[in-house]
Amino acid sequence: MYPKFAFLLPLCCLFALRTWASDPDPVQDFCIPNTNFDASARVPCKNPRLVTPDDFVFSGIKSPGNFSDTGLSAIPVNPTTFPGLNTLGMSFVRADFRPGGINPPHFHPRATETVYVILGKVYAGFVDSTNRVFAKVLEQGDVMVFPRGLVHFQMNVGKSPATVFGCFNSQNPGTQKIPNVIFGSGINDELLEKAFGLSLRQISRMRRRFLPRKA
C-alpha cells in the first residue's frame, strides 16, 4: 500500500500545482520561513544558503492521526507544519476513515481539491450550484476532483478502514464544515428555526453538539 502512496503523492500534487494553481505566482525558487524573522528587516525567508534538503521533506503522514466522533482522522499539511510548501500554492491532507466513518459536507473557499483513494471504498461527491449531486463509490486507485468552493463529502462504505490523500491548489485552502458553520456559530436561533423548520429545542440540541468546546 505505502509504496503506491509514495509514488502517486508527488504526481497528484504536481497535477494540482501545474493545472489549477490559484495562489499568487512565486517570485523565487522557494521561501522557507525564517523562524528568527525580524519584521523590521523585511526578510521573511531563510537565507537560501542555509536551506537544506530536510526543509523539503515531510514525514508526518506515515500513519493515521487521532480519530473524531465521526470516524475520521485528518492530518492537514500546509506551510505551518511543512515550511517547504510556503509560497508554492499548494497543500495536502491524509484522511483515514473507520468503517462507516464520514467527512461531513464541507467546502474549501480558496481551493480545488483532488482526492486519491489509497485504500478501501469511499462514497464521495460534491453538489453544484443547481443542487445537483455528483457522487459515486471510489475504489483503490481512483481519483476524483472537487471544484473550488463547492460542498463535498466522503464516507467509508467498505467493511475495513479506508485512506485517501487530498491535494489542494492553495497553501491555505480554508475549510468550512456545514454542520459546524450552521450550528456551531452565533447565527440567530429564530433565523435557523425559520430556515430549517426546527424547533428551538432541536436547535439547542444541535448547538450543544457543534459549538466549540471550551478548554
In tens digits, the chain (215 residues) has pLDDT values of: 455 555 555 555 555 545 445 687 776 788 888 876 554 445 588 889 999 999 999 999 999 999 999 999 999 999 999 999 999 999 999 999 999 999 999 999 999 999 999 999 999 999 999 999 999 999 999 999 999 999 999 999 999 999 999 999 999 999 999 999 999 988 999 999 999 999 999 999 999 888 776 65
Q: How many structural domains are present in the chain?
A: 2
CATH of the domain at 125: 2.60.120.10
| Strand positions, DSSP E, the chain | 72-77, 91-97, 102-107, 113-119, 122-127, 133-138, 143-146, 152-156, 162-168, 176-177
34 is in an annotated binding site: no
Residue 108 is labelled as binding a ligand: yes
Task: Phi first, then psi: give them for residue 49, nearest 5 degrees.
Answer: -70, -20
Phi, psi at residue 125, to the nearest 5°?
A: 180, 180
The answer to whether residues 61 and 147 belong to one domain is yes
86 secondary structure, DSSP code:
T
Q: List the grid coordinates of 100.
A: 462507516
Same domain, 121 and 200: no
- The answer to whether 106 is a known ligand-binding residue is yes
Residue 190, annotated ligand binder? no
